[in-house]
Amino acid sequence: MCGSSLQTRSELGDMLALADRVKAGDVRAVSRVITLLESQNQDGVAMLRLLVSGQRRAAVIGITGYPGAGKSTMVARLVAAYRRLGLKVGVLAVDISSPVTGGALLGDRIRMQEHTLDHGVYIRSMATRGYQGGLAHATSGATLVLEAAGYEVILIETIGVGQNEVDVVDVAHTVVAVVAPGLGDEVQAMKAGLLELAHIVVVNKGDLAGADSTLRDLQDWYPTVLRTIATTGEGIPELVAAIAAHQRLGDLQGSSACLMRKGAGF
């Protein structure tokens, strides 16, 4: 009895110490808690209780869209843009290897490489396999962990339109749907899907033939449609500004003020 309560007390001490490390921004502690959440360990849920302050401080931005549309390339550009503003950035890449691009994980790693030595950037991929059903919870939990660790912008990359169980709309304050020209029927299908829930629509690969007509087509349907070339960075400042404007709107309704405080709205 005495032994078990001692053990419980020491476990509690460990939990409190881990929570303190997360709050101090220790990336190993952050990774450990996210792993607990992914494996649906009850300690993970207990940790969230210790970490959540009840006050939203981070701007959570979902980057979603069809496989191969350029989401990861765009995320890497956004990371660079927010780092230039001096913001700490967390990236959660959910369901990262799509069937279309196959080795996307490797590609993502290469694109993200320039940021991996930057202490102001935390990058984590969250695989769907093996954690069906628990992933949505783990993703929203992971954003809370990153927020507690002082990350001011959290970017979540996910393939949208009902292709996985993560409902990015529930987790992110601002959802950016990424479309590439020439998707044709797929763009039509998106109109009825996540695109309707997106706050900002981006036609990426603006350098490719068909970008103009895709842009015009979507502009008939959505108020904020931007054109980007993620590979060169063209259109990224405009996207950053559009996200800030949306966050400001959200803030008026009681959401995050982070980007505006830091001047990301220019």
| Residue ranges that bind ligand GTP, judged by CB under 6 A | 67-73, 96, 98, 101, 104, 107, 159, 204-205, 207-208, 229-231
Q: Which is nearer to ligand GTP, 150 or 182 (CB)?
A: 182
d(CA 241, CA 244) in angstroms, rounded, equals 5
* Binding partner of 88, given Mg ion, ligand GTP, none, CB within 5-8 angstroms per partner class: none
Is residue 72 involved in binding Mg ion (CB under 5 A)? yes
Count CB neighbours of 14 within 10 A. 11
Q: Which lies closer to Mg ion via its Cβ, residue 72 or residue 174? A: 72
Phi, psi of 99 (to 5 degrees): -60, -30
User: Between residues 73 and 247, which has the closer beta carbon with respect to Mg ion?
Assistant: 73
Closest CA to 39 of 51, 49, 31, 27: 31
For the four alpha carbons of 192, 193, 199 and 200, in that order, the dihedral sign comes to negative
Strands across the sheet containing 174-179: 121-126, 89-94, 153-159, 59-65, 174-179, 200-203, 225-227
Contacts of 174 (CB under 8 A, 6+ apart): 59, 60, 61, 62, 199, 200, 243, 246, 247, 250
- Determine the residue with CB nearest Mg ion: 72
Comparison of 18 and 104: residue with beta carbon closer to ligand GTP? 104
Q: Which does 44 bind (CB under 5 to 8 A by kind): ligand GTP, Mg ion, none?
A: none
CB of 238 to ligand GTP, least distance (A): 14
CB of 104 to Mg ion, least distance (A): 5
Chain position whose Cβ is nearest to ligand GTP: 70
CB contact at 8 A, 156 and 143: yes
**Closest separation between CB of residue 190 and Mg ion, Å?**
17
Site residues (CB under 5 A) for Mg ion, limited to 90-109: 104
- C-alpha–C-alpha distance, residues 68 and 103, integer Å: 11
Shortest reach from residue 9's CB to Mg ion, in Å: 44
Q: Least Å distance between CB 68 and Mg ion? A: 8
- 128 binds Mg ion, rule: CB under 5 A: no
| Cβ distance to ligand GTP smaller for residue 25 or 107 | 107
The structure tokens listed for 35 are 């792993």
Phi, psi of 216 (to 5 degrees): -60, -45
Question: What residues line the site for Mg ion (CB under 5 A)?
Answer: 71-72, 104
